């Protein structure tokens, strides 16, 4: 994909702005191109375009028409599938096969899923008899909020962007999208797709930039934005929530996690090792659902630590297009510095390094990239900062436990509450413990497997609200009750 200058998309046209910033490859530090940065003027133009589009013909489109549009968007992404793969790989450094099988494939699936859901979505209907004997009929209708601000993260750029754009459009909203400054390419490609399939001008708008004193802040503070959805770190979510309080706008936040994996002695051992290896190191640990805290029942603890160490050391790190590459780079050198800072902190807090803990040396251009080794610690207490703060890198800490009650208390002793994974053959125990873990999602003998119709979201510092299936439709629309005295 060639985008020497990535521009905004406002009111149906690609628009440049005077300020730009570099789009840098995390694989080798090369500058891939320039990205326009939106100021208050560009953001205001995008929001104004969305407001105008909402009051135009788009406001009269029925659910079936919107569903047809989502299907055309999905078809267009499929036609440009390899372009999207290239964009995701260039910006993130992730293995090509992951971009193909997960990121882009899921982007297509998101549009198809919400096309189907909005076709099938009906309102409620009730009948009653009034005091004067007349029949009363009440029914509900969904209406769009109007303008939705969508702020998406860098770790799964297309997947998480389309997860929000698809239901927002399905419900009839207009959107202003701000992707992460680290991953602008696939969002720009999506704007091209929107243009190609004939999305009405102003319905989909894209502004590039940063957070504070840039596109993100200008967008969340804009008085004509009716709802805000954000995926990212918890501190940023708190800042956005303060901005959303002006005007009492709807918000949906999917924020950070310090997720636990619990491995019981009766588990399928090989499956548990493979599962925790995947949940700790997928996308170099840069998934909000990754397992950073691993608790293993004491009878299999030593064996498990050895097996996970061996598995981590077999992971091939390298160029995205290399055969057999299992782990790519981190998103940036800046983020690598943060992760390496936690590695140093873990040593200071008394961690035992099982494997990793540093930067791989390639002897080529990759040494200018943002790679780190998959890393495993043991020996930290539950109060250590590295056990309580999200690292968001390829790292996990393994600790032993002796009873169900003990591990449940330790898992719940956390400011976050996004997800957990249990590995056990005792399904009665799995059901019992799952009900008591304070998280939004629990996996049993699997990880990262989701039916898109189910609710998704976190508790405490991990977020606010639920999206997925009808829960997304509930967030991206308002319900009006119509009462008719017949």
Q: Which long-range contacts (CB under 8 A, 24 or more apart) does 445-450 make?
A: 445/267, 445/268, 445/271, 445/275, 446/275, 446/421, 447/261, 447/275, 447/278, 447/279, 447/289, 447/291, 447/421, 448/278, 448/279, 448/282, 448/287, 448/289
**To which residue do tokens 């019992």 refer?**
432
Angle 189-336-187 from CA coordinates, rounded to 5°? 10
User: Domain for residue 283, yes or no?
Assistant: yes
**Antiparallel, parallel or unpaired: β 20-24 and 13-15:** unpaired
The whole-number pLDDT of residue 389 equals 97
218 and 367, same structural domain?
no
The whole-number pLDDT of residue 1 equals 43
74 and 195, same structural domain?
yes
- For 290, the enclosing helix (H) or strand (E) is none
50 and 179, same structural domain?
yes
The DSSP symbol for 477 reads E
**To which residue do tokens 């510095």 refer?**
337
305 and 219, same structural domain?
no
Would you state the structure tokens that stand for residue 380, as one six-digit string?
A: 């930290």
282 and 216, same structural domain?
no
Asked whether the beta carbons of 237 and 253 are under 8 A apart, the reply is yes
Asked whether the beta carbons of 466 and 455 are under 8 A apart, the reply is yes
157 and 296, same structural domain?
no
- For 412, the enclosing helix (H) or strand (E) is helix 404-412
Give the torsion sign (CA, 101, 102, 108, 110).
positive
User: Domain for residue 146, yes or no?
Assistant: yes
The whole-number pLDDT of residue 122 equals 85
191 and 53, same structural domain?
yes
**To which residue do tokens 């509450």 refer?**
417
User: Domain for residue 456, yes or no?
Assistant: no
The DSSP symbol for 334 reads H
Question: Would you give per-residue pLDDT tens digits along the chain (486 residues)?
Answer: 445 799 999 999 999 999 999 999 999 999 999 999 999 999 999 999 999 999 999 999 999 999 999 999 999 999 999 999 999 999 999 999 999 999 999 999 999 999 999 999 888 999 999 989 999 999 999 999 999 999 999 999 999 999 999 999 999 999 999 999 999 999 999 999 999 999 999 999 999 999 999 999 999 999 999 999 999 999 899 999 999 999 999 999 999 999 999 999 999 999 999 999 999 999 999 999 999 999 999 999 999 999 999 999 999 999 999 999 999 999 999 999 999 999 999 999 999 999 999 999 999 999 999 999 999 999 999 999 999 999 999 999 999 999 999 999 999 999 999 999 999 999 999 999 999 999 999 999 999 999 988 999 999 999 999 999 999 999 999 999 999 998
| Cα–Cα distance for residue pair 261/426, rounded to 1 Å | 16
276 and 182, same structural domain?
no
CATH of the domain at 310: 3.40.309.10
479 and 375, same structural domain?
no
| Cα–Cα distance for residue pair 269/295, rounded to 1 Å | 14
331 and 184, same structural domain?
no
Domain range for 297:
259-451
438 and 290, same structural domain?
yes
**To which residue do tokens 């390639």 refer?**
362
User: Domain for residue 336, yes or no?
Assistant: yes
Q: Which residues are catalytically annotated?
A: 254, 288
| Cα–Cα distance for residue pair 473/198, rounded to 1 Å | 23
The whole-number pLDDT of residue 322 equals 95
| Cα–Cα distance for residue pair 6/184, rounded to 1 Å | 8
User: Domain for residue 457, yes or no?
Assistant: no
CATH of the domain at 22: 3.40.605.10
**Total domains present in the chain:** 2
279 and 141, same structural domain?
no
| Cα–Cα distance for residue pair 340/345, rounded to 1 Å | 9
Q: How far apart are the first and last CA of the chain?
A: 60
């Amino acid at each position: 994909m060639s985008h020497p200058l990535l521009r905004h998309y406002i009111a149906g046209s690609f628009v440049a702005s005077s300020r730009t910033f570099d789009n840098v490859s995390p694989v080798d530090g090369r500058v891939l191109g320039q990205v326009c940065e939106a100021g208050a003027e560009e953001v205001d133009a995008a929001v104004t375009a969305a407001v105008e589009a909402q009051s135009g013909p788009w406001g009269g489109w029925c659910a079936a028409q919107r569903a047809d549009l989502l299907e055309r968007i999905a078809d267009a992404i499929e036609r440009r599938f390899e372009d999207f793969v290239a964009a995701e790989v260039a910006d993130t450094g992730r293995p090509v096969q992951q971009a193909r099988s997960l990121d882009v494939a899921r982007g297509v699936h998101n549009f198809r899923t919400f096309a189907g859901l909005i076709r099938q979505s009906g309102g409620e209907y009730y009948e009653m008899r009034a005091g004067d004997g007349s029949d009363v009929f009440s029914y509900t209708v969904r209406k769009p909020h109007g303008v939705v601000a969508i702020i998406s993260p860098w770790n799964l750029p297309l997947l998480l962007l389309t997860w929000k754009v698809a239901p927002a459009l399905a419900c009839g909203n207009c959107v202003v999208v701000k992707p992460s400054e680290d991953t602008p390419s696939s969002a720009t490609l999506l704007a091209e797709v929107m243009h190609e399939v004939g999305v009405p001008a102003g319905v989909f708008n894209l502004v590039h930039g940063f957070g504070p004193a840039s596109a993100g802040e200008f967008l969340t503070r804009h008085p004509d934005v009716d709802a805000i959805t954000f995926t990212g770190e918890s501190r940023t979510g708190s800042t956005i929530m303060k901005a959303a309080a002006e005007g009492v706008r709807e918000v949906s936040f999917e924020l950070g996690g310090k997720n636990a994996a619990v491995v019981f002695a009766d588990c399928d051992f090989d499956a548990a090792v493979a599962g925790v290896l995947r949940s700790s190191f997928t996308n170099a640990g840069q998934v909000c659902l990754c397992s950073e805290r691993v608790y293993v029942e004491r009878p299999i603890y030593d064996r498990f630590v050895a097996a996970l160490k061996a598995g981590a050391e077999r992971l091939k790190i390298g160029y995205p297009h290399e055969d057999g590459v299992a782990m790519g780079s981190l998103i940036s050198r800046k983020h690598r510095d943060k992760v390496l800072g936690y590695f140093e902190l873990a040593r200071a807090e008394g961690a035992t390094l099982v494997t990793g803990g540093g930067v791989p040396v390639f002897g080529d251009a990759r040494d200018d990239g943002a790679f780190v080794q998959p890393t495993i610690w043991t020996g930290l207490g539950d109060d250590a900062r590295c056990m309580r703060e999200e690292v968001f890198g390829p790292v996990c800490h393994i600790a032993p436990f002796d009873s169900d009650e003990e591990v449940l208390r330790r898992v719940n002793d956390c400011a976050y509450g996004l997800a957990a994974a249990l590995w056990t053959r005792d399904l009665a125990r799995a059901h019992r413990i799952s009900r008591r873990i304070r998280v939004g999602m629990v996996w049993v003998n699997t990880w990262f497997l989701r039916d898109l119709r189910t609710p998704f979201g976190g508790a405490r510092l991990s977020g606010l609200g639920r999206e997925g299936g009808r829960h997304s439709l509930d967030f991206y629309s308002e319900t009006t009750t119509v009462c008719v005295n017949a």
